Amino acid sequence: MSTEGVPKEREKVIGITYDLREDYENLDLSEEELAEFDSPQTIASIENVLSDLGYKTEKIGNLKNLVHYLSLGKRWDLVFNIAEGLYGFGREAQIPAILDAYKIPYTFSDPLTLSIALHKGRAKEIILNHNIPTPPFFIIEEIKDLIEIDSYLKNFKFPLFVKPVAGGTSIGVNSNSKVLNKEMLIDRIKNILNKYKQPAIVEKYLPGREFTVGILGNSDDAHILGAIEIIFEDGSEKGVYSYYNKENCEKVIKYIPASDKTAFLASEIALKVHKILNCKDSSRVDIRVDENGVPNFIEINPLAGLHPTHSDLPIIASTFGIDYKNLIKNIVNSAFERAKIYEKIKIIVK
């Protein structure tokens, strides 16, 4: 059959939204505060894969750039979004919210999921409502709340673990996060409130193994990519997957594939959390084991880092036989499939 005169399908255009560390260096932020933002290597890696997959790519950049391009009438078939945002509990949700307003599909989760997941306390409340184990916790919003610290502590025993309620990339997590008494606890809370300008979440410290689990897909089609156990090597901050350990993981952390009974239970919890919070396309879930050998949900990252060799999700994928190109391909295909379903729903509603 002749195809002469039949128009070819238009090449799909994928825009890429992101925050580069170098774009915010003039804001007088610390190295730690810049840690969540991406490197040019990550953006180049994603762009190269998308091009290899046959898409035309356009680098958009951060929120201000997106708003500018939209005002000029620019549109894309899909936006590959890994922008972390800068301010507030809704910082990761800002770009998806704008894209929703313009009916432009994008990768990863929607504004509701991203906002809930970023606030570790809100996420844990929902998970507890589904009877999934997670360490007991409380949140200190302001310095004045420390007046009531004894009432907070009446149902807790030391050691406890303290971190910013909405930090990513283990920002604010270090060897001082594990506190052994009330004096250490108060000092650590004050440090977080003053330095990171956000509430501190205090939870029971869990002494067992630590896993991070990769999930791919949506709803009933979501599945476990794999689980890796985090082993602390010489030179690491022991017993805590800290900011220092993550930034220097090639030297001080060993990642091993985990498939025993405990790892299986951890992976099942991760998959349940991904579904309960309605995560899209992919997520990464942190799990830690308590003193009774029970895996507990710690937190979920529905906007996981994608540096090809340094970020946990690509490390999990490569550990279980999925190279970087196929990881990105899975994410993009998942997002396009959701976009098709959404279009069908709109047609039915009309």
User: Taking 80 as the threshold, does the pLDDT of residue 28 lie above it?
Assistant: no
Q: Which amino acid would we find at residue 212?
A: T
What CA–CA distances, in Å, run from 135 to 79, 206, 274, 275, 341?
36, 8, 18, 20, 37
Q: What whole-number distance in Å separates Cα of residue 56 and Cα of residue 305?
A: 22
Burial (Cβ within 10 Å: 0-12, 13-18, ≥19) of residue 4: exposed
pLDDT at 87: 87
Residue-wise pLDDT tens digits, 29-55: 777 777 889 999 999 999 999 999 999
Q: What whole-number distance in Å separates Cα of residue 218 and Cα of residue 274?
A: 9
Band of pLDDT at residue 24, cut at 50, 70 and 90 = confident
Residue 69 or residue 28, greater confidence:
69
Q: What whole-number distance in Å separates Cα of residue 190 and Cα of residue 120?
A: 18
Band of pLDDT at residue 329, cut at 50, 70 and 90 = very high
Band of pLDDT at residue 9, cut at 50, 70 and 90 = low
User: Taking 70 as the threshold, does the pLDDT of residue 103 lie above it?
Assistant: yes
DSSP state letter for 10: P
Average pLDDT over all residues of the chain: 93
Query: For residue 263, what are the contacts with CB-CB under 8 A and spacing of at least 6?
Result: 211, 227, 229
| Domains along the sequence of the chain with CATH | 13-108 (3.40.50.20), 136-204 (3.30.1490.20), 207-330 (3.30.470.20)
Residue 47 or residue 9, greater confidence:
47
**Number of Cα atoms under 13 Å in the Cβ half of residue 330:** 23
Are 119 and 88 in contact by the 8 Å Cβ rule? The answer is no
Band of pLDDT at residue 10, cut at 50, 70 and 90 = confident
Residue-wise pLDDT tens digits, 183-227: 999 999 999 999 999 999 999 999 999 999 999 999 899 999 999
The string over 199-222, giving b where at least 16 C-beta atoms fall within 10 Å of a residue's C-beta and e elsewhere, is bbbbbbbbebbbbbbbbbbbeeeb
Token pair 């036989």 is at which residue? 321
pLDDT at 2: 46
